[in-house]
Structure 1
């Protein structure tokens, strides 16, 4: 089944499966805003089906796939991931109930491994606030069963111990930044110095997924554009399939370095067929 077909089914399924919104006041229901939602499959070696409120949304969903953005009613969703073909009553590979989808937000739900290697679901709300002229935003999310890292600028740590499932972000001058990354608490350089090109008016979101012990760490990238000026509605974006760097540590760490050169903080996507 094509990614576009999967996305169409997802939209139809979630719209049908949405829980009731807030109760009506008098004879009229309270107006609500849709959310923009995408899903990243970051569990290695598992082709799965995804259910929301008991209805099939995604079938034969393969690792490394990042879905197209969907417009969904705000509310809470019971999400269940099963082995492909197991059916709604099949054993859950991952399950999370009452996952909040806030109205008007831009959200990425990530199925991934936690630090101990157990499959989990983590929803992230993407920052789509406007950027000043000449600025770009970089967000990095650690969703891999992999060690913590420290980020250095000029050989000195500026952020220490980024762990799963934390994220960092920074608004940077558009252009190229340099930094390096070491394994947490050591001087062992994992990657760098790295050059990172950030485009004006975009939020580039980088996910590390997979497992260090399984030697299958990979990269997924999401780009949200239209953040300069005053765009109408919730911005969309483009992204890509997972990518992997040989040598154990993933490419994303180089991007992380750029985000943290100037400071640290705290997911729309078109998957390639």
Structure 2
């Protein structure tokens, strides 16, 4: 089932939107892969090992890939069509014929998004599901927009992440509560994205992705959540990708479909000029 929730920038109820699955639901033999499309203006088909996996995948759509057996997968992004198969590696972009390795007991996001030139790329991330601790929430911010380096600030003056560039990310733990969060252009501190009254619930992992070109009114964020496990689960760089640290070089495989697995949750696309549910 494809899900899409579009909302304005008043996001006080983020904590009530889509706690997807407890981290301890991960299998010792399979992986979970969050699939979200956040490349503006392009509807695509997604093929895995040559077979159609997601048809007519539009920006803001999300699809679950749950309990994916560990192994190697060729992922192709192609123009939306009636085709149900493709020669692996022949898409417009994707992992290439060599594919990517998926490790068991790991949660992934495959993020298709524009780079700083506006060209489509596919960036895989490992979702850090380490236990957040009592009374805390985990916040991961990923720069996946056609925009310069940004700072992420919890007003009035707490800098969560500084100098994050396209394909980079950072994760931090904060006390649960309500925050006024801004994404600011690092060069001049101008406000790029404003997220007032953002409620962060205890025991929840928040994955926030900058979305769209900065010059466009669609510029905003895509957010999804995963519930914490009391004992935590292994997290790190095994398999598909290592989490890109702020200030480090990102792991990039060419492509364009922001991906994020939805087990039973929701995705918010927060936009400056729109407030609608499709």
Q: TM-score, normalised by structure 2?
A: 0.69
Q: Partners in 2 of 1:73 and 1:224 — Cα distance?
A: 20
| Pair 1:156–1:229, CA change in 2 (3 A) | closer
| Pair 1:52–1:239, CA change in 2 (3 A) | same
Residue 189 of structure 1: how far off its partner (Å): 4.0
**2:91 counterpart residue number:** 92
**1:139 counterpart residue number:** 140
| Pair 1:183–1:3, CA change in 2 (3 A) | closer
Which one has the bigger helix percentage?
A: 1
**2:150 counterpart residue number:** 149
Q: Partners in 2 of 1:68 and 1:191 — Cα distance?
A: 27
Q: Partners in 1 of 2:51 and 2:57 — Cα distance?
A: 15
Q: Partners in 2 of 1:206 and 1:77 — Cα distance?
A: 25
Higher relative contact order (CA 8 A, sep 6+): 2
Q: Partners in 2 of 1:125 and 1:187 — Cα distance?
A: 29
Residue 241 of structure 1: how far off its partner (Å): 4.3
Equivalent pair of 1:41/1:65 in contact (CA under 8 Å): yes
**1:104 counterpart residue number:** 105
Equivalent pair of 2:64/2:263 in contact (CA under 8 Å): no
Q: How many residues are treated as equivalent by the alignment?
A: 221
Q: Partners in 1 of 2:234 and 2:184 — Cα distance?
A: 40
Runs of 4+ in 1 over 6 A off after TM superposition: 231-235
Where do residues 168-207 of structure 1 align in structure 2 (5 Å cutoff)? 168-178=170-180, 180-190=182-192, 194-207=196-209
- The reply on whether 1:243 has 2:245 as its aligned counterpart is no
Match of 1:217 among 198, 215, 219: 219
Unmatched tracts of structure 2, length 5 or more: 4-26, 236-261
Q: TM-score, normalised by structure 1?
A: 0.70
Residue 183 of structure 1: how far off its partner (Å): 1.8
| Pair 1:165–1:244, CA change in 2 (3 A) | same
Q: Partners in 1 of 2:141 and 2:208 — Cα distance?
A: 5
Query: Between Structure 1 and Structure 2, whose CA radius of gyration is higher?
Result: 1
Q: Partners in 2 of 1:201 and 1:237 — Cα distance?
A: 16
In the TM superposition, what whole-angstrom CA distance separates every residue of 1:197-249 from its partner, at most 9, and x where no partner exists? Answer: 21010001111122223443232211101x152379999562224230249xx
Q: Partners in 2 of 1:200 and 1:156 — Cα distance?
A: 19
